[in-house]
């Protein structure tokens, strides 16, 4: 039976490559027709066929407060009434930079001294790397297999997210000399990092790592791993770049770094990147960190970066309203909803005898069809990934929208109340049965 989603997808494929403006949306690994969304509110999204789903995608992270939160919508409407874009500095940008810096604080540690606003996570990481190269005068970059930092040329090697979902080694169109500047190492393996620095230490500008990997499924760092990465980088005069685009302001008021500091794992990134929650659903991302490094950005310094829409007033308004609304109660609610669903998911799969793990990084979790949670990309790729499509579709049929790939995290919001959580939990046994029979 075709419905409005099929009609739109047919039309979309005629004018948009693959029918989507970002690859993972295409249901490539789960099959079927992507839902064309018409509206979203609280914990739910509604498609073009008029069907409403409990949503565990949350726009891939930004909707921490829930979709279309009234305070965020009002802030954006108010900003819109004063003008959509000025291409000039605004007071809101200063307030948001201040708020980001003051949120990323635990005890006396306040590692974000200066902030620059950009429009996407891709720009944030791309700029952070240019900055690291600019201040160190070195070219090489260390990244980890399965980590996704956006789609700039040097960062697509062995990247997660859609690269993992579509089982691609990287991207066509990246010149070999650029790819050769990126050393891709296995995650959670400090010896590999020590070896790389022993060989190339004086040529490595930076180590970039997802604060907790969540683009190859959820793969948290081993205890002490992030701190050791910071130490190794610093011993060799390289910078340590913590990518919190996905985790920042989502898993803790001060991001995954904050969660780790609060748990006693102390380290100081030179630069952070933020996205998603910091823009509250509008195009906004940021990089921030040590003042002396950040001051190398133009016009203060020689490293160039710019953007017509950088610090856009509507995006800034959404970011300010979202961060101001992200109170301790919000994190408690998101944590509780995540735990309830993660536990129920594991119980349902166990009841059906499906070999699985439900890895967690704060409120982020996902499923891996392996006996133990994977520690790296090579292991994540060995899972019985085909079990995810039937699970996904059983949930969708029951009115629950999951990320359309086993390599993505499930996202909760503060709007997932007991009723929404119950609806997800009630759908899980049948979905687990579908996964078992795959």
> Active site residue: 27, 53, 148, 187, which one?
148
What is the footprint of ligand PMP within residues 54-83 (CB under 6 A)? 60
Listed in sequence order, the DSSP H helices in 143-250 are: 162-165, 176-179, 190-200, 225-235
> Active site residue: 53, 55, 143, 243, which one?
243
CB of 152 to ligand PMP, least distance (A): 9
- The Cα 317–Cα 76 span in angstroms is 6
When asked if residue 120 is in the footprint of ligand PMP (CB under 6 A), the reply is yes
- Comparing CB distances to ligand PMP, the nearer of 241 and 338 is 241
User: Is the bond into 56 cis (omega within 30 degrees of 0)?
Assistant: no
Which residue in the set 164, 285, 344, 358 belongs to the binding site for ligand PMP (CB under 6 A)? 285
When asked if residue 135 is in the footprint of ligand PMP (CB under 6 A), the reply is no
- The Cα 168–Cα 164 span in angstroms is 6
Residues that bind ligand PMP (rule: CB under 6 A) add up to a total of 16
Which residue in the set 275, 280, 288, 359 belongs to the binding site for ligand PMP (CB under 6 A)? 275
Determine what percent of the chain falls in helix, strand and coil, rounding each to the nearest 5.
45, 15, 40
When asked if residue 310 is in the footprint of ligand PMP (CB under 6 A), the reply is no
- Closest residue by beta carbon to ligand PMP: 121
- Comparing CB distances to ligand PMP, the nearer of 197 and 411 is 411
CB of 74 to ligand PMP, least distance (A): 24
- The Cα 282–Cα 320 span in angstroms is 11
- Please give the backbone phi and psi of residue 148, each rounded to the nearest 5 degrees, phi first: -110, 130
Instruction: Retrieve residue 192's tokens.
Output: 């590999």
267 belongs to the catalytic site: no
148 belongs to the catalytic site: yes
- Comparing CB distances to ligand PMP, the nearer of 315 and 346 is 315
Which residue in the set 215, 346, 379, 401 belongs to the binding site for ligand PMP (CB under 6 A)? 215
Instruction: Retrieve residue 122's tokens.
Output: 């891709």
Angle between helices 225-235 and 255-262 (to 10 degrees): 100
Listed in sequence order, the DSSP H helices in 142-249 are: 162-165, 176-179, 190-200, 225-235
Instruction: Tell me the window of 145-153, 256-264, 357-365, 426-434 that interacts with ligand PMP (CB under 6 A).
Output: 145-153
> Active site residue: 47, 55, 187, 276, which one?
276
Instruction: Retrieve residue 88's tokens.
Output: 């000039």
When asked if residue 245 is in the footprint of ligand PMP (CB under 6 A), the reply is yes
Instruction: Give 7: exposed, middle or buried? Use CB within 10 Å, 0-12, 13-18, 19+.
Output: middle
Catalytic residues: 148, 243, 276
Enumerate binding residues for ligand PMP (CB under 6 A): 60, 120-122, 125, 148-150, 161, 210, 215, 243, 245-246, 275, 285
């Amino acid at each position: 039976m075709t419905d409005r989603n099929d009609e739109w997808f047919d039309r979309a494929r005629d004018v948009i490559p693959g029918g989507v403006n970002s690859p993972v949306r295409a249901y490539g690994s789960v099959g079927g027709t992507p839902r064309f969304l018409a509206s979203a509110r609280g914990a739910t999204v509604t498609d073009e066929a008029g069907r409403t789903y409990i949503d565990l995608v949350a726009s891939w992270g930004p909707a921490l407060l829930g979709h279309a939160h009234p305070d965020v919508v009002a802030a954006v409407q108010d900003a819109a009434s004063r003008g959509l874009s000025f291409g000039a500095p605004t007071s809101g940008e200063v307030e948001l930079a201040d708020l980001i810096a003051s949120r990323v604080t635990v005890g006396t540690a306040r590692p974000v001294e200066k902030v620059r606003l950009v429009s996407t996570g891709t720009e944030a990481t791309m700029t952070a790397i240019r900055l690291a190269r600019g201040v160190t005068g070195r070219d090489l970059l260390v990244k980890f297999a399965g980590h996704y930092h956006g789609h700039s040329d040097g960062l697509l090697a062995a990247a997660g997210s859609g690269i993992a979902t579509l089982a691609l080694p990287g991207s066509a169109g990246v010149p070999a000399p650029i790819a050769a500047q990126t050393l891709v190492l296995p995650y959670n393996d400090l010896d590999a990092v020590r070896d790389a620095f022993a060989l190339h230490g004086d040529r490595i500008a930076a180590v970039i790592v997802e604060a907790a990997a969540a683009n190859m499924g959820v793969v948290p760092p081993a205890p002490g791993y992030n701190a050791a990465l910071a130490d190794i980088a610093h011993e060799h005069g390289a910078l340590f770049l913590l990518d919190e685009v996905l985790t920042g302001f989502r898993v803790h008021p001060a991001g995954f770094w904050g969660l780790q500091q609060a748990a006693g794992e102390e380290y100081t990134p030179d630069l952070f990147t933020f996205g998603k929650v910091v823009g509250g659903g509008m195009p906004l991302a940021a990089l921030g960190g040590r003042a002396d490094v950040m001051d190398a950005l133009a016009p203060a310094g020689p490293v160039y970066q710019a953007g017509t829409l950088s610090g856009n007033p509507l995006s800034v308004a959404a970011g300010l309203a979202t961060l101001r609304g992200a109170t301790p109660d919000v994190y408690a609610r998101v944590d509780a909803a995540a735990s309830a669903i993660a536990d129920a998911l594991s119980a349902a799969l166990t009841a059906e005898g499906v070999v699985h793990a439900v890895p967690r990084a704060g409120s982020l979790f996902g499923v891996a069809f392996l006996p133990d949670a994977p520690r790296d990309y090579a292991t994540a790729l060995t899972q019985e990934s085909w079990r995810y499509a039937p699970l996904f579709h059983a949930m969708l049929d029951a009115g629950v929208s999951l990320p359309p790939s086993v390599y993505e995290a499930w996202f909760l919001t503060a709007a997932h109340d007991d009723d929404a959580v119950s609806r997800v939990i009630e759908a899980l046994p049948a979905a687990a049965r579908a996964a078992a029979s795959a």
